[in-house]
Amino acid sequence: MTNKPIISLDAMGGDNAPEIVIQGAERALQRYPQMKLVLVGDEARLSQMLAQTKFARAIDIMHADERVKPEDKPSQALRNGKNTSMWQAIKLVADNQADAVVSAGNTGALMAMSKLQLRMMDGVTRPAIAGFFPTVTGSGCMLDMGANIECNEDNLVQFAIMGSAFVRSVLNREAPTIGLLNVGAEEQKGFEYLRVAASILSSDKLGLNYKGFVEGSDIGHGTVDVVVTDGFTGNVALKTAEGIADLFQHSLKKSFSQSIFSKMSYLTALPQLRRVRSLLDPRAHNGAVLLGLNGISVKSHGGTDGFGFANAIHVAVEMIKYGFMPEVSQTIAKANQVLEQEKGNDE
């Protein structure tokens, strides 16, 4: 890590930007005072807001006239977007003026702009969005969470390799276990491309800790460190989990507000209930990384608050600390060889 990491923030991206971005920046600086942040966006508005914080000295402002809108298609954003805060924030990383970029803006646009400006790592066919989530055993990682709605065996194998390196770096786990998300653990289940991907991931040559197919329930159970799936299924699974977490919070609230007695028991149980809430708080797991690029680009949930945005900055700091996972390209090259051999054998 550079002595003083510099992180560029898309100050205008997200449902409640720029407020949550500035709140997040303040929180992150409390945790990492040695860091430098660059807010990219409406200078007049940002400087006025920044004047009221005590961290003004650690935060630079870079003006950008426009912003990517939540409803913009990636292609649209790419065509018209060079003056947007998102494009300019990524450009700082592409120009080596920042070590990472964090945005709570439009996911598709962030992926398209990051891909174009930071370019893909050698051997990677498609980048993926990887994120963390809480599990019974601690925390796990899932990818792709929505960058590629349709995937083939090559994509999934690359996701597994990138996800494994990511977890090894950021969570510091020696040989992360990998599972392919499917509708059953039995070998004959699911799509053909899942079976081909499974066969490649099992190859000794890749040195991966591949454990086989996993099911949706294994996500929460934390059966493996890395859950690999296509972006459609990953996005649905992630959001399903969020909805069920909301349902739980709702049910707890409802149950404890039934009567005067239950309200009293709520007070005594409050520390424990708060602990569960914080363990499972999606904001605590905010910050998904666009893997497979020659640069660090972190996506924050669009609807998060300052606490959540600070956690996305935290993920960027961790990524800077561990660098770009140079082994990924090498392992992908090996996987491509195995794939070629498999295809050769079939013919």
Q: Which residues bind a copy of itself (CB under 8 A)?
A: 71, 73, 134-136, 146, 149-150, 181, 183, 186, 188, 190-191, 215-221, 229, 231-233, 235-248, 250-252, 255-256, 258, 262, 264-266, 268-269, 271-273, 275-276, 279-280
Give the nearer residue to a copy of itself in terms of CB position, either 275 or 321: 275
Could you give the residue ranges of the DSSP H alpha helices within 32-73? 43-50
User: Is the Cβ of residue 73 or residue 82 nearer to a copy of itself in the bound state?
Assistant: 73
**Which has the closest alpha carbon to 28: 276, 280, 320?**
320
The nearer residue to a copy of itself, 232 or 307, going by C-beta atoms, is 232
Q: Give me the least distance between CB of 34 and a copy of itself, in Å please.
A: 34
Pick 51 or 136: Cβ nearer a copy of itself: 136
Residues 6 or more apart in contact with residue 105 via CB below 8 angstroms: 10, 12, 13, 14, 17, 67, 68, 70, 85, 86, 302
CB contact at 8 A, 231 and 141: no
CB of 279 vs a copy of itself, minimal distance in Å? 5
CB of 74 to a copy of itself, least distance (A): 10
CB of residue 234 to a copy of itself, shortest distance in Å: 9
Q: Which is nearer to a copy of itself, 107 or 311 (CB)?
A: 107
Between 32 and 232, name the residue whose CB sits nearer to a copy of itself: 232
For 140, the token pair is 């796990």
Conformation bin of residue 7: beta by default, left when phi > 0, alpha when psi is -120 to 50: beta
Helices (H), the chain: 19-31, 43-50, 74-80, 85-94, 107-118, 153-170, 192-201, 217-221, 231-256, 260-280, 306-322, 327-346
Q: What is the closest distance, in whole angstroms, from the C-beta atom of residue 160 to a copy of itself in the complex? A: 17
Q: Which amino acid is at 92?
A: L
Contact 232, 150 (CB under 8 A): yes
Rank residues 74 and 81 by Cβ distance to a copy of itself and give the closer one: 74
Q: In angstroms, give the least distance from the CB of 183 to a copy of itself.
A: 4
Least distance from C-beta 177 to a copy of itself, angstroms?
16
The set of residues, in sequence order, having a beta carbon less than 8 Å from that of 343 and lying 6+ positions away, is none
